[in-house]
Structure 1
Amino acid sequence: MKYICWDCLADTPNVEAPFCVCCGDPVAGDVQHDFTCFSCSRKTPHFDFARSAVRYEGAVGEALRALKYDNALWVADDLAELLFACVRAEYADIEFDWVMSVPLHPARRRARGFNQSDLLGAALARRLGVLYKERGARRIRSTVTQTGLTAPQRTANVSGAFQVGLFTRLSDKRILLVDDVMTTGATVNACAGALKKGGAASVHVITVARG
């Protein structure tokens, strides 16, 4: 792939208000007050809050696809800068105990050779000075790709797919959960649910992009 410079990555439009105070889903129009989207109002997510740094378009969209499918591992460090800026802006008053990432199923990780969310999470944790808990969660059921599925299908696809990692003790831990892209939020919500069930005090989600 061609090289994507930091200036082009940083030029991708941020996810800015107005957006849902819970899941961070942006809304068009002039909204002058905090609001909760229909999805979060209908069923409260397992995560406490979710935020995304930028929209899934332009150079960041290209960089994320290159990271995931073309082994452009170098781009994870630059993308972590976007995550870091978003955490400082949206979660400045929260002291996280651990940074964790949404895991891949072992078979998919072996096929790809890495988990892109692991790379992003580890790079973000270094910037924050917070412990990165690798394998803090595990994917116990292989699922089809979420791409092309409807929102209900996405939820069903990842239902029961995650568990707390072996030998991980989450009691009262404040978790920052990292993933690359958030679309409907089904994947991060399912993972957050497993972490909450395992004893996490809070789970705040941060993703590079919002699809």
Structure 2
Amino acid sequence: MTGWLDMLYPRNCIGCGVSAPETFRFICWDCWSDASMVEPPFCALCGDPVAGSVEHDFICYACSAEKPAFDAARSAVRYEGVAGEALRQLKYEHALHLVPDLAQILFNCLQAEFPGLEVDRIVPVPLFHVRRRERGYNQSGELARALGSLLRVKSSAGILRRIRPTATQTNLTAPQRLSNVRNAFETRREQQLAGKRILLVDDVMTTGATVNACAKALKKGGAASVHVLTVARG
């Protein structure tokens, strides 16, 4: 399989173009070392980093004002540099050959931030069916499936669905993001969800409005816990 991929997609780093990078299949060490990792200090719940020095676990203002439905959320890198470019290409240029690299980044983040976490099912943040048909795939679904292979945990895309179209979150304020995704998700096949420990996967997390709305639906459907993992933090 690797040989076929190399023939279809010559292994050049998407950041600098160097041939046959070694750190990942399409990201070289130099570009990856320049990536802005999401590191402490950050909120113990949503994982949002803060500037300065914090010597203890803390909860950010937003999570203190309204505790999120998910149990905890973590992201690997900032949405910039080579990681941002990889996610942009995956989402808008059908660059599915980048999925293994991004799934490995998710796997590494999971091992570092949620050591020992036991997961029953991996669930991707779904697209509305019209958008998925237009794009041809759900990038979060592809990431969840690849991560599931690494973890040997089943990816269950059909458990959660987006029941109405929502505007892109990119240019919305935090309150607008909350309103945009409110009641936009529902679960089905609840017998497969009841009492399960869920790992919710998405490509990018910004304010957390989308993953929080998903977590609410999953908890309502019977999930015992929901941890969130994204490649990047916007």
Aligned partners of 1:177 and 1:204 also within 8 Å:
yes
Task: Please give the residue correspondences for 1:95-134 in structure 2 after superposition, counting only pairs within 5 Å.
Answer: 95-134=118-157
Q: Which has the larger radius of gyration?
A: 2
SS in 2 for 1:108: helix
SS in 1 for 2:229: strand
In structure 2, what is the Cα distance between the partners aligned to 1:23 and 1:149? 19
Letter aligned with residue 178 of structure 2: T
Greater CA drift, 160-169 or 3-12:
3-12
Does residue 181 (structure 1) correspond to residue 204 (structure 2)? The answer is yes
Does residue 86 (structure 1) correspond to residue 109 (structure 2)? The answer is yes
Instruction: Give the alignment's TM-score, normalised by structure 1.
Output: 0.96
Other-structure match for 1:39:
62
Other-structure match for 2:219:
196
Higher relative contact order (CA 8 A, sep 6+): 1
Unmatched tracts of structure 1, length 5 or more? none
Per-residue CA deviation, residues 149-187 of structure 1 (Å, 9 max, x unaligned), is 000000000000001134653111000000000000000
Aligned partners of 1:136 and 1:168 also within 8 Å:
no
Other-structure match for 1:22:
45
Aligned partners of 2:190 and 2:221 also within 8 Å:
no
Letter aligned with residue 138 of structure 1: R
Instruction: Give the alignment's TM-score, normalised by structure 2.
Output: 0.87
In structure 2, what is the Cα distance between the partners aligned to 1:201 and 1:19? 24
In structure 2, what is the Cα distance between the partners aligned to 1:85 and 1:177? 16
Letter aligned with residue 151 of structure 2: L
Does residue 6 (structure 1) correspond to residue 27 (structure 2)? The answer is yes
Change (3 A) 1:143 1:173: same
Letter aligned with residue 199 of structure 1: G
SS in 1 for 2:96: coil
SS in 2 for 1:118: helix
The Cα shift of 1:131 comes to 1.1
The Cα shift of 1:6 comes to 2.3
SS in 2 for 1:6: coil
| Percent of pairs with identical residues | 60
Other-structure match for 2:3:
none
Aligned partners of 2:27 and 2:82 also within 8 Å:
no
Unmatched tracts of structure 2, length 5 or more? 1-8, 15-25
Q: How many residues are treated as equivalent by the alignment? A: 211
Greater CA drift, 132-141 or 9-18:
9-18
